Amino acid sequence: MTAVKPALKIATFIMLIWGCLMGVTVLLADWSTAQEVRAMVLSALVCLAVAVACMLLSRGPSIRMKAKPMFLVTAVNWGLLCLTGALPLYLGWPELSFIDALFESVSGVTTTGSTILIGLDDGPRTLILWRSLMQWVGGIGIILMAVAVLPFLKVGGMRLFKTESSEWSNIQNTRVRTVATQIGVVYILLTALAVAVYWALGMTGFNALNHALTSLATGGYSTSDSSFGQFDSNALIWAGSSFMLLGGLPFLLYVQSLHDRAWHIARDAQVQLLFKLVAAAALAMTVHRLLTGSSESFFHALTHAVFNITSVVTTTGYATEDYTLWGSFSLMLFVFLMFSGACSGSTSGGTKLFRFQLLGLLLREHLFKSLHPSGHFQRTYNHRPVGEGVLVASLAYLFVMLVSLLLFSIALTLTGLDAVTAGSAALTALMNVGPGFGEVIGPAGNFSTLPDTAKVILCLAMLLGRLEYMALLILFTPAFWRW
């Protein structure tokens, strides 16, 4: 317990914030619907009770934080957010089972965006707002994990991005708090900008707020069953593409660029690759659709191609059309984009582009040494040396990801799902994308008809992918529990 005390202090803070956000949602609630208000109030009280329990257990002076407790509390805190986040939905949404509420909460907190809810257009506005807030909090949560926690835990090659803000030797570390505050300010300002732009371009205030929260979080929860397709406006679609891209960029680089008054973000290798990937994929998709008989104009095809490609590569999950009907080439391109993800240190999920760049670096080194066995190859990324440990961790991440995809796909077929639904559900859950492929869980469908067993399996997959696999899997190794 002594070693876990610093982490429990974090859990206290997280549950207090969670309960306060529920309280804010109550203030914005439709007070004519007593069930929604009662659900939010009871859930907020549960969060505050958990916060008090964590505070009592963590009383005393702060001590040095070690890796093992941090692994445990990373998983426990995300689990707490998912469980308590499900309470308002379970208590307030008519006829919603706890499994469905938990699935919706896990999907929200992990910013996956898969949903089991039908009838969002006429659904409880208070709970729709709560869904969006869950994604918004989950978005900044993964940013802070990528900046301060995962490099410290040496997960998946994230040591490459280790900075002073990754030093957790003491829970009171001033640098950690400063960087977290600065990132939070940037996140809030970008969200406010998104609200203003969406509202100015024709969204109602309610739609503007919800879509701003989920755009920057690259979460994809919408206020309608037709997702972003409810807005018949090219201007709004381009604005949505822009804010999803902003959410897919490294937030620490926003802070550094503002602090140094320099365009650090434009010189980053991940950022450059992301923009090239989106541009190339969108152009290829547009040309393909026009050559295969589409009667729409070039600009209309480009608009929807850019939006849906940006949505998938940043793992947001919005859709303006059912892109699975665009042909086999489009389908395979979207599968690749689901794997890639955007930048590390952003709100997006997926493998992250830097790992593909590191694999390319490793391939170049292998080819170079095949030609020049005694030659010296300089291994750098963003002008920084890349150690052997970073490459090994990245390869381990990719291996675990592929094995997880195979095992979850097999497990889902055992629940009665067909191969396409099972495989795409496992992929979209592990990559935290949102919609899958096929008639059941594609962009035009949702996950409501899946059996409860499949939903529970997907909850685990969403958490596993969001926590970068190793941060959760290490808890199941016997060595972890030999303190």
Per-residue pLDDT tens digits for 387-436? 888 888 888 889 999 999 999 999 999 999 999 999 999 999 999 998 88
Q: CA–CA separation, 357 vs 362, rounded Å?
A: 9
CB 288 within 8 A of CB 330: yes
Report how far apart, in Å, the C-alpha atoms of 314 and of each of 35, 153, 175, 195 are.
Answer: 35, 24, 29, 19
Query: What is the rounded distance in angstroms from the CA atom of residue 10 to the CA atom of residue 16?
Result: 10
Are 309 and 285 in contact by the 8 Å Cβ rule? The answer is yes
Q: Among 94, 46, 90, 63, which Cα is nearest to 1's?
A: 63
Calculate ∠ Cα 325-311-251, nearest 5°: 170
Beta bridge partners of 380: 385
Q: How far apart are CA 414 and CA 422, in angstroms?
A: 9
Q: What was the pLDDT predicted at 407?
A: 96
| 373 exposure class (CB count in 10 Å sphere: 0-12, 13-18, 19+) | exposed
10 Å CB burial of residue 51 (0-12, 13-18, 19+) is buried
Q: Half-sphere exposure (CA, 13 Å, Cβ side) for 234?
A: 8
How many C-beta neighbours within 10 Å does residue 263 have? 10
103 CB-near residues (< 8 Å, 6+ apart)? 114, 116, 447, 455, 456, 458, 459
**pTM given for the model:** 0.91
Q: Are 356 and 344 in contact (CB under 8 A)?
A: no
| Cα(36)–Cα(222) distance, integer angstroms | 19
Element spanning 39, H or E:
helix 34-57
Residues of the chain with pLDDT under 50: 164-172
**In the chain, where are the structural domains located?**
362-481
